[in-house]
Structure 1
Amino acid sequence: MSSAASTSGGGALAHLRVLDLSRVLAGPWASQLLADLGAEVIKVERPACGDDTRGWGPPWLADGAGQVTREAAYFLCTNRNKRSLTVDITRPEGQEIVCQLARDADVLIENFKVGGLAAYGLDQHSLRALNPKLVYCSITGFGQQGPYAERAGYDFLIQGMGGLMSVTGTADGEPGAGPQKVGVALTDILTGLYAGNAVLAALAHRDRNGYRSGDGQHIDLALLDVQIACLANQAMNYLVSGTAPKRMGNAHPNIVPYQDFPTADGDMILAIGNDGQFARFCAVAGRPEWASDERFASNAARVRNRQELIPLLRQTTLQRSTAEWIAALEKSAVPCGPINDLAGVFADPQVQARGMRLDMAHASGGSAPQVANPIHLSATPVEYRKAPPVLGEDTAAVLRELGHSDTQIAALRQAGIV
């Protein structure tokens, strides 16, 4: 196979080849991160249908003539800078193709159910026997062992089981009370980020004392573990106090005022993190006496007396528009902001200045919008080399690199193997 440098970028990870057998979000999020940083990523997909998210529309990408394609927005969010290879891994010929790729790969990412790839000889033991330097990352709902290991895990399910929904949503006794999931599949995304970190740690271990081919390893990542780890202060609040946190809507359990407030024409967020900021807010609001009131003078006092303070603040914030509050508070260095919808997000001058929206040439859509990677590296910046591929876009090229002739490739296609 050709060198990784010929199909990867000039980024920090341009020397790495990643074989991506994952689908949907957590695994593809990790592999896109590695691809953005320069790695060559070959995405292995099922012939005819591909990654599940290719069918998760509408919305669908439109082509240059405004006609809807079959490229789902969901798929486009997490598969740029990858090559798409279609292979039927249930067939011996397809398994051999994956094994050929694995022999020369640095990383493999998969999110099949526990033991799901062993039947095809593509499990970590089999592939690491072929390539001892391989870092093999398995992502599952519940991990490789434990009473739930065999269960399928989905983000929504894990948000509930892992405690996130117990602290997300309107408080009991208020209109609309009840647990809520986060508006994006956050557990999947966080797992993808942990996976990227774990892969880089395993590669650093493998390579830190000079290249040693036997130093690959297996990474076992579970969505449930990640969700619990990311409860952060809420988990620690429980472990320290023994009292389970409750839903508080947009309020913060440890800081007051730190939530949304109504204005004359909408809503805004106050994110006051210390007593100095609170005093400056009080001055702008025309209520300087609150800053010296023993009930509100310190954050600890405000937390104890939030039921008294919050109604007073809401009466005050209703007196001006959101824009008026933000202009006045920003001048006094009081953290605040609007609650934007997505149109407002991408119209925001700061978001535009940071280049968070971009467009890439796409094989069937003409052009595909993308949300930029937020990492800014001064010497090895993120590169946007290739839009999310159409299904099987790179199958022939990858097979040629493995030594297959055009006649052999045609036969594999005819047999439904690729």
Structure 2
Amino acid sequence: MQQPMAGVRVLEVAQFTFVPAAGAVLADWGAEVIKVEHAELGDGQRGLTNVLGVEAISAGSSFSPIFDGPNRGKRSIGLALEKPEAREVLHELIRQSDVFLTNYLPRTREKLGIDVEDVRKINPDIIYVRGSGFGGRGPEATKGGYDMTSFWARGGSGAGATLPDAERLTPLPAGGYGDNLGGLTIAGGVAAALYARSTTGETSVIDVSLLGVGAWATQFTVNLALMAGQVPPRPPVPRHGSARNPLVGNYKTADDRWLVFSMLQPGRYWPGFCAAVGRGYLLEDERFATVEKLMDNAPAAAEIVAQIISTMTFDAVADVLDTIDGQWAAVQDSWGVANDVSLRANGMIVTVEDAEGVSRELVANPVQFDETPPALRRGPQFAEHTDEVLRELGISDERLIELKIARAIT
């Protein structure tokens, strides 16, 4: 299996999901990722034992999907960066690294001596990456943010997912939703910067904000707003189908499963659909006799489609739709995604062995090389590799003891 990042060392001084998710992707691609955690407190993500009302740690185990997901494949060391002795260790790690990842706020970076200028004094060739809520410049450069605020609320997704007459804002569909997209974005930026460094000798400072990722995700609508000079109108959404196409929209089966149709060319797909569901006579209906008439009478056609689908089970509808051209999909919950036939066939759900030796599964990052799933390694235990990594730096056991007595390392 090709590991394009093999030989690249990444130093991560970050916590929670945004930015650590980038480290996980880079580790999947073969990079050596060393995660720096506070010597006593560790990554704040480790303290999240219950998320959205769900237990986040497997009973009787150390396995935590919300931690292992964005931290798999890394080595963890515990450093108290507020102590001079720990900074000596950090500086040696910086000297030996290709990439520095952080999502700490400016005042914290300055306090700990890990801002761009501090790191570049030690290693001028290092690629420096800042993940932020609202960007590295402007009036909110010092303001923190999570994906719920910077990505979902400010980036347009929350408003776009909420119907005009709703009594509450539609919440994030999953924890870490924008964080994981942001992490993948950072990983792509790191790959580009490494390529540029190898071809030009020039290094980069990379900035990725959750707000920027959110705006990129909603750019279709944002760009229309820019063109119009205002919020684009939101035409009322029909109960079934769309205003001009009965084969675009959401339909519910007799066993309460949802389907999404996205057959964008009604004239092309309508005859096949009608024949497949045993309603060929609809092709003779004057209301739907031509493409133009079908589009003009789409709401009426959609009501007929809805009635047909509502009398069939999901399996029955799926069997029918599988016989025709046209794009459709089942609406899946998290368990459905975990067992999706195509994700499984393409190695996008990957086995990993946890610290207790139990076989677990995690979602792989969506980039695959040479049709080969990544070989995942579990996330590290807190400060698990401190002694190992420091010995690799040439630090003696006697010095390790001194650093521990000074509470500079775990």
Task: Tell me the TM-score normalized by structure 2.
Answer: 0.87
**Counterparts of 1:106-125 in structure 2 under 5 Å?**
106-125=98-117
Deviations 1:352-388 (A, max 9, x none): 3223333322224644432223322128x55425211
Deviations 1:301-324 (A, max 9, x none): 84x766544433322221211111
**Counterparts of 1:285-296 in structure 2 under 5 Å?**
285=277, 286=279, 288-289=282-283, 293=287
Residue 129 of structure 1: SS of its match in structure 2? helix
The equivalent of 1:29 in structure 2 is 21
1:43–1:318 CA distance, 2 compared to 1 (3 A): same
The equivalent of 1:172 in structure 2 is 164
1:217–1:349 CA distance, 2 compared to 1 (3 A): closer
1:251–1:17 CA distance, 2 compared to 1 (3 A): farther
Q: 2:393 aligns with which of 402, 405, 410?
A: 402
Matched, 1:220 2:207: yes
Letter in 2 for 1:95: R
The equivalent of 1:415 in structure 2 is 406
In structure 2, how many angstroms separate the alpha carbons of the residues matched to 1:313 and 1:230?
31
**Counterparts of 1:44-193 in structure 2 under 5 Å?**
44-58=36-50, 59-62=55-58, 68-158=60-150, 159-169=152-162, 171-173=163-165, 178-184=168-174, 185-193=176-184
Q: Aligned residues: percent identity?
A: 26
In the TM superposition, residue 107 of structure 1 has moved relative to its aligned partner by 0.5
In structure 2, how many angstroms separate the alpha carbons of the residues matched to 1:253 and 1:227?
28
1:292–1:199 CA distance, 2 compared to 1 (3 A): farther
User: Where does the alignment leave 5 or more consecutive residues of structure 1 unmatched?
Assistant: 1-8
Letter in 2 for 1:258: V
1:265–1:366 CA distance, 2 compared to 1 (3 A): closer
In the TM superposition, residue 406 of structure 1 has moved relative to its aligned partner by 1.5
In the TM superposition, residue 254 of structure 1 has moved relative to its aligned partner by 9.4
Query: Do the aligned partners of 1:296 and 1:305 also contact (CA within 8 Å) in 2?
Result: no
In structure 2, how many angstroms separate the alpha carbons of the residues matched to 1:399 and 1:319?
66
The equivalent of 1:229 in structure 2 is 216
The equivalent of 2:232 in structure 1 is 244
**Counterparts of 1:312-351 in structure 2 under 5 Å?**
312-351=304-343
1:385–1:162 CA distance, 2 compared to 1 (3 A): closer
Q: Which region of structure 1 is more displaced relative to structure 2, 160-169 or 280-289? A: 280-289
Q: Which region of structure 1 is more displaced relative to structure 2, 90-99 or 395-404? A: 90-99
1:254–1:143 CA distance, 2 compared to 1 (3 A): farther
* Runs of 4+ that moved beyond 6 A: 249-255
Residue 236 of structure 1: SS of its match in structure 2? helix
Matched, 1:361 2:353: yes
Residue 105 of structure 2: SS of its match in structure 1? coil
In structure 2, how many angstroms separate the alpha carbons of the residues matched to 1:115 and 1:98?
18
In structure 2, how many angstroms separate the alpha carbons of the residues matched to 1:311 and 1:289?
15
Letter in 1 for 2:42: G
Q: 1:277 aligns with which of 269, 294, 299?
A: 269
Query: Do the aligned partners of 1:142 and 1:148 also contact (CA within 8 Å) in 2?
Result: yes
In the TM superposition, residue 224 of structure 1 has moved relative to its aligned partner by 0.8
Query: Do the aligned partners of 1:191 and 1:221 also contact (CA within 8 Å) in 2?
Result: yes
Residue 108 of structure 2: SS of its match in structure 1? coil
Matched, 1:393 2:367: no
Deviations 1:228-276 (A, max 9, x none): 1110322233233444354969988997643321111122222213231
Q: Which region of structure 1 is more displaced relative to structure 2, 361-370 or 241-250? A: 241-250
RMSD of aligned alpha carbons: 2.9
Q: 1:13 aligns with which of 5, 13, 19?
A: 5
In structure 2, how many angstroms separate the alpha carbons of the residues matched to 1:262 and 1:236?
32
In structure 1, how many angstroms separate the alpha carbons of the residues matched to 2:168 and 2:245?
22
1:293–1:369 CA distance, 2 compared to 1 (3 A): same
1:254–1:148 CA distance, 2 compared to 1 (3 A): farther
In structure 2, how many angstroms separate the alpha carbons of the residues matched to 1:177 and 1:352?
38
Query: Do the aligned partners of 1:22 and 1:109 also contact (CA within 8 Å) in 2?
Result: yes
Deviations 1:98-154 (A, max 9, x none): 111111111011001124212222111111122111100001101111112121111
Q: Which region of structure 1 is more displaced relative to structure 2, 100-109 or 408-417? A: 408-417
In the TM superposition, residue 83 of structure 1 has moved relative to its aligned partner by 0.5
Deviations 1:325-370 (A, max 9, x none): 1111111123223222333333343333223333322224644432
In structure 2, how many angstroms separate the alpha carbons of the residues matched to 1:331 and 1:149?
54
Deviations 1:155-191 (A, max 9, x none): 111211221111103x334xx6543133123221221
1:272–1:40 CA distance, 2 compared to 1 (3 A): same
In the TM superposition, residue 292 of structure 1 has moved relative to its aligned partner by 7.8
In structure 1, how many angstroms separate the alpha carbons of the residues matched to 2:133 and 2:15?
13
User: Where does the alignment leave 5 or more consecutive residues of structure 2 unmatched?
Assistant: none
1:95–1:253 CA distance, 2 compared to 1 (3 A): farther
**Counterparts of 1:373-384 in structure 2 under 5 Å?**
373-378=365-370, 381=372, 383-384=374-375
Query: Do the aligned partners of 1:89 and 1:95 also contact (CA within 8 Å) in 2?
Result: yes
